Structure 1
Amino acid sequence: MGTPPPFGERLRAELGSPDRVHELESSPRSRVWRAELSGTPVVIKQLIDAPEADDRYTREVAALRLASRVEPPVVPRILGTDPEERVVVLEYVDHRPPGEEWVVEYAGALARLHAATGPEDAGALPAWSGPVQGDIDSFLTLARTLGVEVPAGVRAELDDLVGRVSGTPGHALLHGDPCPGNDLHTAAGVRFIDFEQSALGDGRVELAYLRIGFPTCWCSTAPPRALLDAAEAAYRTAWRDATGTEVPDDLTDACAAWLLRGDALVQRAERGTLDHLAELPGRDWSWGTATARQRLLHRLGVVSRMAADSDRLPGLGRLAEAVAGAVSARWPALLPLPARRP
């Protein structure tokens, strides 16, 4: 059983006393239990005392409430909360192993999640934050360290890119970490959990996960092209059905933004600690299904192909192709990202 969950008088008065409590595996930032309340299975989650715990709890509860507007559901229902203990009690959702084409159903559910909010919800969650000038510096320094000449004009392209992705208006409900493992596949569809990093912004920054290799996730994968196309089509259809509007076709900016972010090469606990792109020439490290160099090589390939036809980022396309060539030449044993989730 382990340590029992904090279940104070307020929650007991509302929901009763938990029974058949079992602690589940969770991230270092939270503790999670499965329990029963009057014979009904529930999940109890507590964000432990750590930096930004209060903010993460506030985001999670706010996002779950905003997402609860969506029907059929895309999140478990909130049954109760205890802000003082940073506890949320959720409906238990019976997860089943996803099928081979899981990413298609996932993408449709992600679009419906994104469509839960609109301009009237501005301020309900923090705005999504993209790459900054320091990320540009790190990426260009990495290119030079690998012996690649930076084409004239690329710095200006990247400055403009950072300005565009940071200034793009968007009111989609972004999960913040829409990874395999944070999606529960049920007989009634996909539901998302763990909204501690949720934000409002342009949904394309998370639609881009499918192409760029799930950048914030331990489970970095690259779906086969046919599945990728089907998943992106499912997202666009679900968004259109929910909002009556079209998703802009171009994902180049969103994918390029993820390429610049060295912090998207490590798990959350290690982000903001050092320049991870600067570490790559000297060492590689494993995280989940891939190494950092594998992740980088995949992202370079995606951006080089997409930016080649871009009016805004042609220099970045050439640079990404050259850096990918340098990475492959220096570390020829690097494997592609896995096509399937574990």
Structure 2
Amino acid sequence: MNEIIRAAERVLATRLSDPVDLGGSSRSSVLRCRTADGRSVVVKAYTGGRDALRGFTAEAAGLSLGLAGPAVLGVDREVPLLVLEDLGDALTLADVLLGDDPKAAEEGLLAWAGGLGRLAARSVDRRAELGRLWGRYDRGLPTWADEPWIERNAAQFPGVLEAAGVAVPAGLPEELARIGTAGREEYPAFSPGDTCPDNNLLTPQGLRLLDFEAADYHSVFLTAAYCRMPFASCWCVFALPAGAARRTEAAYRAEVVPVYPALAEDAVWEDGMRRAVAVWTVNATLRMLPRTVEDGPMHRTRRPVATRRQVLRHRWETAARLDGLPAFTETMRSLLREVAGGWRVDPLPGYPCFERDGAAHDG
């Protein structure tokens, strides 16, 4: 901690005091400190390793665009380290979804979706600027957009199925190749990368975003799928009421249609959404299936929380209903029957905020 504070003091050219550990992750340490003139700032220092270093570059470049998130007050490329505006202790979207006020939760969902949509729309013509910023903070690693994670997942998926005792149906590799186009140059826009509920502050000034470690440009469908699934790669996953899910997705779509008018066509939107849901379902299966040998909670400390088996089964149930992907949906049904069929877990419950007054059953 002392080394981090000294490095941040050099960046700001001022003394820092009263450090408070905000947690961070295996890739970073995050401190809240007081400056000599009484301001509060957040210091984020990154560990070594490929993911941490690329996370630093993505976060420094993404935040420096100034489209969302805290302002960047200083950068040390060598440590590496960021000093950021302190956004305070506002409630997150996760807090209201796990709370007891359905009105506050739906308002939070709409603020989240609308804010992400506006961010996407404002970013469409700034991709070259992000590339220049990436070069400024580059630590010798490819951008997330240059990392072929969707294609890599598609190549690994049949082997994971076979290891689980699930037959690979004819036509699945070809469908996976077509599904992957949803993630690349199809209506691209900027995203912080990790738009999960605990990374979204609901402040009096509106939505403020945290965690830009995976920031880059990708298809708007990959972000919109978070509304439908919901929250494709997150721990805070329960079932959304159908009406709330539709309204949330519509709020995001309304913001991106002005910059991509083709997305007003339902056929275009639905085709992109079904492929994005499939992309995230493959990702969830690869990431979570090996960890379901012994079930456990999706988060180490937060409660209430679903289990890994509950969430993964919900992902497969959602994907099994997709239209136009016969081999993929057959695969999902096989996983439900041959893998999840042996799990002794309850169905994924609704978000607590909606369950308490029956709102989980709205239309």
TM-score of the alignment, normalized to the shorter chain, above 0.5: yes
Structure 2 residue matching 1:32: 3-state secondary structure: strand
Structure 1 residue matching 2:249: 3-state secondary structure: helix
Q: Could you tell me which of 315, 330, 334 is aligned with 2:342?
A: 330
Structure 2 residue matching 1:156: 3-state secondary structure: helix
2:297 and 2:337 map into 1 onto residues whose CA distance is 21
Q: Could you tell me which of 141, 161, 171 is aligned with 1:153?
A: 171
- The aligned length equals 317
Q: Decide whether the 8 Å contact of 2:29 with 2:45 is kept in 1.
A: yes
Q: Decide whether the 8 Å contact of 1:213 with 1:222 is kept in 2.
A: yes
Seen in structure 2, the aligned counterparts of structure 1 residues 131 and 257 have a Cα distance that, compared at 3 Å, is farther
Q: Decide whether the 8 Å contact of 2:183 with 2:218 is kept in 1.
A: no
What is the 5 A alignment of 1:172-321? 172-240=189-257, 243=259, 245=261, 247=263, 248-250=268-270, 251-262=273-284, 265=287, 277=289, 280=292, 282-288=293-299, 289-305=305-321, 307=322, 309-310=323-324, 313-321=325-333
Seen in structure 2, the aligned counterparts of structure 1 residues 134 and 334 have a Cα distance that, compared at 3 Å, is farther
Q: 2:356 — aligned with what? A: none
What is the Cα deviation at residue 88 of structure 1? 1.4
What is the Cα deviation at residue 173 of structure 1? 0.9
Q: Deviations over 1:274-330 (max 9, x none)?
A: xxx4564x443433133332222111111122x2x32xx123223323422334421
Further displaced range: 317-326 or 181-190 = 317-326
Q: Could you tell me which of 72, 80, 99 is aligned with 1:78?
A: 72
Q: Decide whether the 8 Å contact of 1:184 with 1:191 is kept in 2.
A: yes
Q: 1:270 — aligned with what? A: none
Structure 2 residue matching 1:290: 3-state secondary structure: coil
Letter matched to residue 236 of structure 1: R
Letter matched to residue 17 of structure 2: D
Unaligned 5+ segments in structure 2 are 97-103, 135-142, 300-304, 354-363
- Kindly report structure 1 stretches of 4+ aligned residues shifted beyond 4 Å: 1-4, 129-134, 141-150
Structure 2 residue matching 1:249: 3-state secondary structure: helix
What is the 5 A alignment of 1:80-159? 80-97=74-91, 98=96, 99-101=104-106, 102-122=108-128, 124=131, 126-128=143-145, 129=147, 131-132=149-150, 135-136=153-154, 138-141=156-159, 143=161, 149-159=167-177
Seen in structure 2, the aligned counterparts of structure 1 residues 147 and 56 have a Cα distance that, compared at 3 Å, is closer
Superposed CA RMSD = 2.9
Q: Decide whether the 8 Å contact of 2:27 with 2:46 is kept in 1.
A: yes
Seen in structure 2, the aligned counterparts of structure 1 residues 339 and 327 have a Cα distance that, compared at 3 Å, is farther
Seen in structure 2, the aligned counterparts of structure 1 residues 239 and 165 have a Cα distance that, compared at 3 Å, is closer
2:218 and 2:159 map into 1 onto residues whose CA distance is 29
What is the Cα deviation at residue 219 of structure 1? 2.0
2:32 and 2:248 map into 1 onto residues whose CA distance is 32
Q: TM-score, normalized by length of structure 2?
A: 0.76
Seen in structure 2, the aligned counterparts of structure 1 residues 4 and 152 have a Cα distance that, compared at 3 Å, is closer
2:57 and 2:252 map into 1 onto residues whose CA distance is 28
Q: Deviations over 1:132-160 (max 9, x none)?
A: 55534654455556665544323322233
Letter matched to residue 197 of structure 1: A
Q: Decide whether the 8 Å contact of 2:8 with 2:43 is kept in 1.
A: no
Seen in structure 2, the aligned counterparts of structure 1 residues 294 and 166 have a Cα distance that, compared at 3 Å, is same
Further displaced range: 225-234 or 314-323 = 314-323
Structure 2 residue matching 1:6: 3-state secondary structure: helix
Seen in structure 2, the aligned counterparts of structure 1 residues 338 and 264 have a Cα distance that, compared at 3 Å, is farther
Unaligned 5+ segments in structure 1 are 267-276
Q: Decide whether the 8 Å contact of 1:76 with 1:192 is kept in 2.
A: yes
What is the Cα deviation at residue 203 of structure 1? 1.8
Q: 2:23 — aligned with what? A: 25
Seen in structure 2, the aligned counterparts of structure 1 residues 328 and 83 have a Cα distance that, compared at 3 Å, is closer
> Is the helix fraction higher in 1 or 2?
2
Seen in structure 2, the aligned counterparts of structure 1 residues 236 and 130 have a Cα distance that, compared at 3 Å, is farther
Q: 1:43 — aligned with what? A: 42
Q: TM-score, normalized by length of structure 1?
A: 0.80
Further displaced range: 325-334 or 142-151 = 142-151
Q: Decide whether the 8 Å contact of 1:295 with 1:337 is kept in 2.
A: no
Seen in structure 2, the aligned counterparts of structure 1 residues 337 and 150 have a Cα distance that, compared at 3 Å, is farther
Seen in structure 2, the aligned counterparts of structure 1 residues 182 and 63 have a Cα distance that, compared at 3 Å, is same
